[in-house]
Amino acid sequence: MSDTDLQNEAIKVDTEKGNFSYPENYEFDAGVGLTEDTVKYISDVKKEDDWVREFRLKALEIFKKKPMPTNWATKDLETIDFDKIRYYLSKGQQPSRTWDEVPDDVKETFERLGIPEQERKFLAGVEAQFDSEAAYSRMKEDLEKEGVIFVGSSEGLQKYPEIFRPYFGKVIPASDNKFAALNSATFSGGSFIYVPKGVKLKQPLQAYFRINAENFGQFERTLIIADEGAELTYMEGCTAPKFETSTLHSAVVELVALKGAKIQYITVQNWSDNVFNLVTKRGMADEDAEVKWIDCNIGSRLTMKYPGVVLKGQRARGEVLSIALANDGQHQDTGAKMMHLADNTTSNIISKSISIGKGQSTYRGQVHMPKHLKNCKNNTECDALLINTNSRTDTYPAITTRGQHNTVQHEASVSKVSAEQIFYMMQRGLSEAEAMSLAVNGFVNDLMKAFPMEYSVELKRLIDMEMEGSVG
């Protein structure tokens, strides 16, 4: 079998693949609700230094004082009851280096999701998180010899504080927003990656985040540092079972691309429709560096995610490419933020959204160019596709440019799949669902090319399944 064939078969994702769970058997459980005791319990279980505990407790105070966001949010947030959420659940495992050492129920979970096969076929390293902690973490030995670090955040804090601490909470401080503060108080799991100067990873690193328990909140914290001239691609996947009650996922991701470095961060989420997915993601690009977010949001009850790039050094580049699909009862509230802080910086935002049934998609974007800068460029494109008459889409671009030497351009479009198009394709032998799927895949095709092949193939399959029964 060729490499291409292997890649095409690498990730077997479908809309129901993650819909299973196992009986709960946790050694560590912080209980229900968020108090100082909850935060101290998490810190004690992890045996953290005093400065980490104080960081958590200060973040808890910030969280309590900050109101729910109103200008970038929906009324759905008001339904979250923070007193009914479980903030830490762990089987007490240390991240295993071989699959044989992973607890049987956790191992079966990840085997059903295809994680071991993915690692063997095309990954340079993989980390798999089950509820609050990583169950498996491994990287190829040749990368370790080059000084690449790929471990969980807790292990990064303990073993590499001289690298981790100077950047931790600097790109996204706890005070950034209410949910960043919540994550800073309760964070557990996530990845810490450091790529040394000049090291260019040819294969991607991947993390997989799995929620198994009901009424649970997952708060992973990821920090990726690419030293001068380094390059890496990081991919993450997310699933959860379908429960009657709400589940909260509130992550924080900080990227640091030093001079001439390149970071590409790819997300494909397929959350069940009871998940509130409230994520803060931001990268910092130094001189001649590049940070690129490639994002696909399918599933969840509500997603609020606006990957950003702070263009700190001259000739820095930032890019966000996103696809969002909102089905009945779902709201995909996504977008991007670009902050230009140096001359000759460039940013590019391309957003595609699809609304099905009574699904709602929203684009929110911010681009900021101060007047003292020159030769800065931004391109923003927001395209929306409505499938049914009840579908909804909104676009809220906020582009601020001052001075006379910067350039911005913005383009937005809203279109609807016409009955004539569907009829035309059905006359040529396609079913109604196949015709609709073809139209939607054509709409996002140019962006799907930016995803690695093993993901773009599965995105098409996901869209195919979402389109079934969508016309009526």
**What pLDDT, on the 0 to 100 scale, is given for residue 245?**
56
How far from 28 is each of 22, 96, 190, 418, CA to CA, in Å?
Answer: 17, 18, 18, 54
468 versus 349: the higher-pLDDT residue is 349
Nearest alpha-carbon partner for 279 in 234, 248, 245: 248
Phi, psi for residue 400 in degrees, rounded to 5? -120, 115
342 versus 86: the higher-pLDDT residue is 342
CA angle, corner 305, sides to 303 and 308, nearest 5?
175
Q: In the numeric block, which tokens belong to residue 246?
A: 């709400």
For residue 377, pLDDT over 50 is answered with yes
**What pLDDT, on the 0 to 100 scale, is given for residue 138?**
53
DSSP string, 444-460: HHHHHTTS-HHHHHHHH
**What pLDDT, on the 0 to 100 scale, is given for residue 103?**
52
SS3 169: coil
Return the beta strands (E) in 328-401 as ranges.
331-340, 346-355, 360-369, 377-386, 392-401
The one-character DSSP state at 83 is G
How far from 90 is each of 130, 213, 236, 363, CA to CA, in Å?
Answer: 8, 11, 21, 36
Instruction: Give mean pLDDT, residues 188-211.
Output: 84
For residue 107, pLDDT over 60 is answered with no
| pLDDT tens-place string over residues 406-460 | 999 999 998 888 778 778 888 888 887 778 878 887 788 888 777 766 666 666 7
CA angle, corner 366, sides to 361 and 369, nearest 5?
160
425 versus 472: the higher-pLDDT residue is 425
Mean pLDDT of the chain: 80
CA 382 to chain centre: 19
Instruction: Give mean pLDDT, residues 194-206.
Output: 90
The residue ranges of every structural domain in the chain are 3-305, 419-472
Pairing of strands 125-130, 133-139: antiparallel
**What pLDDT, on the 0 to 100 scale, is given for residue 136?**
42
For residue 290, pLDDT over 90 is answered with yes
CA 81 to chain centre: 23
